[in-house]
């Protein structure tokens, strides 16, 4: 899935050392489907050559507010109308100050005033400049304008100091642009997602588990954040999130009981709960406190007595107040997918269930990048979604919101 589709992105490059990253940033934007044009401030041209940006973007680079050679073709007002979003990276302390004051003394600041497109700011500067009260005041002003501000990364800076001030990686910037360009039906809503496998130990070194990687849950978290939600992710072992995912909190657990406790705590005050986690149904009744050693006999056997673990989905339904949170379960099936999922939906009492194939002749979604899901609602609604897990999540969430928020939900 190309996150930015065919969106038009105008990149304003400020005059900081991070400007050298601009060609790589342009390539990342284009790789995610965007058409990109670039504007350089006068100071930015000291760090990155306009020809480099022109080559990677396939568009001429603008820098002068009044360019006699280009004013008839694309003047600054027309350029301000062109993009779907504007990304300022790096947004230097100087550029932030001028933008907050409403100045229009060069092409970059004029475009920020003249555009109606969403604006995403990626500050990058020395740590002390970032923390200075003047900079923080300017950031509050820019946020009040509705601009999205991406917090800088922490690490070694060009000046040799350690701290806040690094421009985030290109994939993080792409994620924030996707959020700025998405409708916000989940703005102000809290979404909890539990994903990945659980482990139930036999002894200190052996456990019962499954092949889940948590990719579907991570895809749902990304899609929910694009739609404006505050996302709390509860993940089992081995789940990879990546630096681009914007989360309110990330709780990592191992056992079923740990996942249950984390989910129950996170769902307090939540609006949505999604349960794609591959929760283990069985645990060992008597867990050994030390490693079981093999005997010399090759005929040795080990008989385990298993007991049921807590049913997190059913317990969550019992714990909610009224219709909050909306609860969406998952059903991983090897046969009779829709029939088994519909039965599970009635038995658990959740609002909808999403059924997929695992380890069967029909397919295997464990660890795969693609999936086919059948969504089944308590009202009898059924719809199939297929494709990459991210594209399925992006298509599925708006449909669930339409279906489940259209009734008595406040």
Task: Express each pLDDT in 16-75 by its tens digit.
Answer: 999 999 999 999 999 999 999 999 999 999 999 999 999 999 999 998 876 655 545 456
Check residue 398 and give its pLDDT: 94
Q: Are residues 372 and 315 in the same domain?
A: yes
DSSP 17: G
Write out the two tokens for 172.
């993080």
Check residue 106 and give its pLDDT: 93
Cis peptide leading into 90, omega within 30 of 0?
A: yes
Check residue 68 and give its pLDDT: 57
What band does 203 get if pLDDT is binned at 50, 70 and 90?
A: very high
Residue 173 lies in a domain: yes
**Could you list the residue range(s) of the whole structural domain that residue 340 is in?**
190-285+304-404
Kindly state the average pLDDT of the residues 316-323.
Answer: 91
CA distance linking residue 322 with residue 327, whole number of Å = 12
Boundary residue ending a domain (181, 200, 225): 181
Check residue 83 and give its pLDDT: 97
CA distance linking residue 326 with residue 409, whole number of Å = 9
Q: Are residues 174 and 238 in the same domain?
A: no
Q: What is the CATH number of the domain that holds 244?
A: 3.40.50.10300
Percentage of the chain modeled with pLDDT above 90: 77
Q: Does the pLDDT of residue 408 top 60, yes or no?
A: no
Q: Are residues 58 and 12 in the same domain?
A: yes
pTM value surpassing 0.85: no
Q: Are 347 and 331 in contact (CB under 8 A)?
A: no
Residue 293 lies in a domain: no
Q: Does the pLDDT of residue 268 top 60, yes or no?
A: yes
Check residue 156 and give its pLDDT: 75
Check residue 361 and give its pLDDT: 66
In the chain, count H helices and then E strands.
Answer: 13, 19
Residue 198 lies in a domain: yes
Residue 1 lies in a domain: no
CA torsion sign for 404, 408, 409, 410 is positive
Average pLDDT, the chain: 91
Task: Express each pLDDT in 241-253 by its tens digit.
Answer: 877 788 899 999 9
- Pairs from 400-405 (Cβ < 8 Å, separation ≥ 24): 400/326, 400/328, 400/352, 400/375, 401/185, 401/186, 401/227, 403/352, 403/377, 403/379, 404/326, 404/351, 404/352, 404/377, 405/185, 405/326
Q: Does the pLDDT of residue 261 top 90, yes or no?
A: yes
CA distance linking residue 254 with residue 43, whole number of Å = 50
Of 24, 159, 287, 315, catalytic: 159
Check residue 245 and give its pLDDT: 83
Residue 171 lies in a domain: yes
Q: Are residues 168 and 197 in the same domain?
A: no
Residue 106 lies in a domain: yes
Task: Express each pLDDT in 131-184 by its tens digit.
Answer: 999 999 999 999 999 999 999 988 777 767 777 888 999 999 999 999 999 888
Q: Are residues 94 and 202 in the same domain?
A: no
Verify whether residue 38 is a known catalytic residue: no
CA distance linking residue 104 with residue 80, whole number of Å = 13
Task: Express each pLDDT in 77-129 by its tens digit.
Answer: 889 999 999 999 999 999 999 999 999 999 999 999 999 999 999 999 999 99
Q: Are residues 114 and 220 in the same domain?
A: no
Boundary residue ending a domain (155, 181, 207): 181
The structural domain count of the chain equals 2
Residue 290 lies in a domain: no
Boundary residue ending a domain (181, 210, 229): 181
């Amino acid at each position: 899935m190309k996150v930015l589709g065919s969106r038009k992105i105008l990149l304003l490059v400020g005059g900081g050392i991070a400007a050298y990253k601009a060609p790589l940033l342009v390539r990342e934007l284009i790789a995610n489907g965007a058409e990109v044009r670039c504007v350089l401030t006068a100071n930015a041209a000291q760090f990155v050559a306009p020809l480099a940006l022109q080559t990677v973007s396939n568009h001429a680079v603008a820098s002068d507010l009044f360019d006699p050679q280009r004013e008839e073709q694309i003047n600054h007002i027309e350029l301000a109308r062109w993009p779907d979003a504007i990304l300022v990276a790096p947004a230097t302390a100087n550029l932030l100050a001028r933008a907050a004051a409403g100045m229009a003394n060069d092409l970059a600041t004029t475009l920020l005033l003249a555009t109606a497109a969403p604006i995403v700011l990626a500050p990058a500067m020395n740590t002390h400049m970032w923390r200075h009260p003047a900079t923080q005041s300017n950031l509050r002003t820019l946020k009040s304008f509705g601009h999205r501000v991406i917090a800088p990364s922490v690490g070694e800076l060009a000046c040799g100091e350690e701290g806040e001030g690094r421009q985030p990686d290109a994939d993080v910037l792409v994620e924030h642009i996707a959020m700025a360009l998405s409708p916000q039906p989940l703005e102000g809503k809290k979404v909890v997602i539990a994903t990945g496998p659980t482990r139930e130990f036999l002894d200190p070194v052996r456990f019962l588990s499954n092949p889940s990687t948590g990719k579907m849950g991570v895809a749902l978290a990304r899609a929910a954040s694009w739609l404006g939600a505050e996302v709390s992710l509860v993940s089992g072992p081995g789940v990879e999130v990546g630096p681009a995912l914007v989360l309110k909190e990330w709780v990592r657990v191992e056992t079923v009981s740990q996942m249950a406790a984390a989910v129950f705590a996170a769902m307090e005050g939540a609006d949505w709960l999604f349960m794609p986690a591959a929760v283990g149904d069985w645990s060992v009744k008597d867990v050994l406190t030390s490693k079981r050693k093999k005997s010399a006999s090759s005929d040795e056997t080990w008989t385990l007595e298993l007991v049921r673990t807590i049913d997190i989905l059913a317990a969550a339904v019992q714990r909610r107040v009224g219709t909050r949170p909306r609860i969406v379960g998952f059903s991983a099936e090897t046969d009779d997918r829709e029939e088994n999922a519909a039965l599970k939906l009635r038995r658990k009492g959740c609002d909808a269930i999403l059924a997929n194939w695992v380890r069967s002749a029909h397919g295997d979604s464990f660890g795969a990048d693609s999936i086919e899901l059948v969504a089944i609602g308590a009202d009898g609604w059924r719809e199939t979604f297929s494709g990459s897990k991210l594209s399925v999540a992006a298509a599925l969430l708006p449909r669930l919101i339409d279906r489940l928020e259209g009734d008595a939900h406040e």
